[in-house]
Amino acid sequence: MTTFQRFGDAPPREGETPVTGGTWRVPSETPVAFVYNKRNYAVMLATPADMEDFAVGFSLTERVVDTVDDIANVDIHQSAWGIELHLSIAPEKLERLDIRQQRRNLVGRAGCGVCGLENAETFFETLPKVADAPVEVAMEALAGALADLRMRQPLNEATKTVHGAAWASRDGAIQTVREDVGRHNALDKLIGALTREGADMAAGFVLMSSRCSYEIIEKCARIGVQAVASVSGPTSFAIAKAREANLSLYCRDGKTFVRAAP
């Protein structure tokens, strides 16, 4: 599957822009539909890579299912207009699916984590405590992971436009990386990969190549991640939600990291 296209050397096609002075690679972005037990739920714009991870991670962070074991099967269908992810889930989860679907519309953009949300109370649902006490991540580990992340994002190296979500051990060694045009999508893909691998969420931390919004904290807290680091500053709501979950939040400040919460 092609995850980026290149242009500039050949005459531009319709919808493309010529680039002077070399070749420019741009990431692909395509509609991805989530279909549960033959019922449409949502359509997201995403980079067409790591689709099975995306299917699992999105289902967990949307709370369509509780565990990866609630998903019996994932079928990936490519069509002319995009990708359909057909998931078979436990029948008892369908009632929850109906309730959540009523609270959002069917289209989500890559840059937005709450498209179509109709009930503001959703923002203030209490997050679970991920730890009895906030965990400590050494600054050397955070700096090492950040330096390693730059070398572990091939799509961003080619395009300079996509987000990365990484899982690192407590000593800063990156274990898994996922990329996408949407930061929430990248994190969903990472969560899907980690849960499919049976990773110990208490054994490391998530590193985001973007700013930390409340959705990042919520997604991580829902699966038990105890620490998150981001290369840009957090929002005030993200800090509040991290404190609520007892989740350690670190953000880069110049050449170092600072602790934002708890």
Q: Which residues are catalytic?
A: 112
Mean pLDDT of 152-161: 84
The two beta strands, 39-46 and 107-108, are: parallel
- Structure-model confidence comparison of residues 105 and 188, the more confident one: 188
Question: Cα separation of 12 and 22, whole Å?
Answer: 13
Question: Cα separation of 190 and 208, whole Å?
Answer: 10
Minimum mean pLDDT among 67-76, 125-134, 140-149: which range? 125-134
Question: Cα separation of 13 and 4, whole Å?
Answer: 15
Domain boundaries, the chain: 30-124, 139-261
Question: Cα separation of 115 and 45, whole Å?
Answer: 12
Identify residue 209 by its one-letter amino acid code.
Answer: S
- The answer to whether the bond into 154 is cis (omega within 30° of 0) is no
Whole-prediction pTM: 0.84
Three-class SS of residue 256? strand
The mean predicted confidence, pLDDT, of the chain is: 83
Residue whose entry in the numeric block shows the structure tokens 């279909």: 35
- Report long-range pairs for 113-116 (Cβ below 8 Å, ≥24 apart): 113/184, 113/213, 113/215, 114/215
Structure tokens belonging to residue 153: 């994002």
Instruction: Identify any residues that bridge with 251 across adjacent strands, giving them in sequence order.
Output: 230, 258
pLDDT of residue 185 exceeding 50: yes
Residue 104 has a pLDDT of: 53
Q: Are 89 and 58 in contact (CB under 8 A)?
A: no
Tell me which fold the domain 139-261 belongs to.
Cytidine Deaminase; domain 2 (3.40.140)
Could you tell me which CATH number the domain at 30-124 has?
A: 3.10.20.10
Q: How confident is the model at residue 26 (pLDDT cuts 50, 70, 90)?
A: confident
Residue 95 has a pLDDT of: 75
What are the tens digits of pLDDT across the range 168-178? Answer: 999 999 999 99
Minimum mean pLDDT among 13-27, 60-74, 101-115: which range? 101-115
- Structure-model confidence comparison of residues 71 and 113, the more confident one: 71
Three-class SS of residue 255? coil
Residue 37 has a pLDDT of: 93
Question: Cα separation of 144 and 166, whole Å?
Answer: 12
Residue 126 has a pLDDT of: 84
Minimum mean pLDDT among 85-99, 130-144, 176-190, 191-205: which range? 85-99
Three-class SS of residue 89? strand
Residue 253 has a pLDDT of: 80
